[in-house]
Homo-oligomer: A and B are copies of this chain.
Amino acid sequence: MSKPSTKAKIIDIADQLFYEFGYEHTSFASIAGEVGISRGNFYHHFKSKDEILSAVIDRRLMNTQQLLDDWHDEGKTAEGRIKCFINILITNRAKIKLFGCPVGSLTNELVKLEHSSLPGANKIFILFKDWLAKQFLALGHVKDAEKLALHLLARSQGIATIASAFHDEAFLYQEAETLNQWLSSYA
């Protein structure tokens, strides 16, 4: 592994800070501080804050695709693969409890800013949705695959919202179990 470039470091740190503190609340000063560079250096790599957001979204898209590919190898059955999705709520419980879902909370913010990167952020949702729909299709739900996929996506979003509002980790366990029960009625 070669050492990460400054540009890669900026994207990595911005990704974290946008998640933990929100896009607008994260300043160049705080990113620069974390990366260990000066604010001026910043604009050598990115022309604007929006451009960093774009890069962060692209990074998240890549990471999400990688995650889905990994799940495809892990899960032997379509049901098992959907369970991988549900299980993020448990795997990422510590962060979800504190900051909610990275995708949902970002779109939530971009919606209110009427930000031009909302469609980009939505692409992450769509990656999940299409992947889930493929699994439901494999389970024989030819007509309802899309609907079931979006339904599950919404369910996971709501769980993350409530869990983060109340900083309630137990709720994540409880609702992940409820989702698995729901899934078994479709598998």
Contacts and interface: CB of A to CB of B under 8 A. Distances in A.
Nearest to A122: B165
Interface in A56-95: none
A125 interface: yes
Given A109-B22, A165-B118, A154 B150 contact: no
Task: Using C-beta atoms within 8 Å of the partner chain, give the interface range for chain A.
Answer: 35 or more
Contacts of A186: none
Interface in A7-32: 20-22, 24-25
A147 B168 CA distance: 13
Contacts of A100: 108, 111-112
Nearest to A104: B161
A150 B20 CA distance: 25
A21 B166 CA distance: 23
Interface in A96-150: 98-100, 104-105, 107-109, 111-113, 118, 121-122, 125, 147, 150
17 contacts: A22-B109, A99-B111, A104-B108, A107-B161, A108-B108, A108-B165, A121-B165, A150-B171, A154-B155, A154-B159, A154-B162, A154-B171, A154-B175, A156-B158, A157-B158, A157-B161, A158-B158
Interface of A: 20-22, 24-25, 98-100, 104-105, 107-109, 111-113, 118, 121-122, 125, 147, 150-151, 153-159, 161-162, 164-166, 171, 174-175, 178
Given A107-B161, A154-B171, 12 more contacts: A24-B24, A98-B111, A100-B111, A104-B161, A105-B111, A108-B109, A111-B164, A125-B162, A153-B162, A154-B155, A154-B158, A157-B162
